[in-house]
Amino acid sequence: MKTIITFTFLLFSFLGFSQTTREEVVDRTKCGQKLVVNTYTGTGNSEKLIKRTSYSGSECNISLKPTTIDFFGSFKNEFTYSNGVIDIEFDFGVIKRESYSVEGKLTSTWVISDSNSTLRKYTIIP
């Protein structure tokens, strides 16, 4: 009996702390193949877009491997003006983009990060 109660408690605690992630196809070709897939986390009004996967190819011959993957998140946008005033804005948008060849090999990665510029600085917020 003690084992059943412990198992039930652990099951409900895992379900309570687990985060919901879902994928939704938002664009298809005329042939029904997927072009863009969005991945969301959270539920209801607290749902956020965390990843967008794009595929390419001809109308009815879409690659099974993605051509770009955009990762979304929060980042801090800091501007430094000539008088030394810093204006900080918090934004939500693309924080990383990966591009792939037709064969599925990673060709380039772009990440928003701290910049050496004295005028603008982006920092990803964990």
Does residue 105 lie within any of the structural domains? Answer: yes
Does residue 11 lie within any of the structural domains? Answer: no
Does residue 14 lie within any of the structural domains? Answer: no
Number of domain units in the chain: 1
Does residue 44 lie within any of the structural domains? Answer: yes
Does the structure show a pLDDT above 70 at 27? yes
Question: Hey, what amino acid is at 1?
Answer: M
Please tell me the predicted confidence (pLDDT) of residue 30: 87
Domain that holds residue 63: 20-124
Buried b (16+ CB within 10 A) or exposed e, 4-42: eeeeeeeeeeeeeeeeeeeeeeeeeeeeebbbebbbbee
The model carries a pTM of 0.71
Does the structure show a pLDDT above 60 at 31? yes
Alpha-carbon span 79 to 59, nearest angstrom: 44
Q: Which of 15-19, 60-64, 96-100 has the lowest mean pLDDT?
A: 15-19
Average pLDDT over residues 76-86: 72
pLDDT confidence band for 120 (50 / 70 / 90): low
Q: Which of 15-19, 61-65, 68-72, 104-108 has the lowest mean pLDDT?
A: 15-19
Q: Which of 5-14, 17-26, 57-66, 73-82 has the lowest mean pLDDT?
A: 5-14
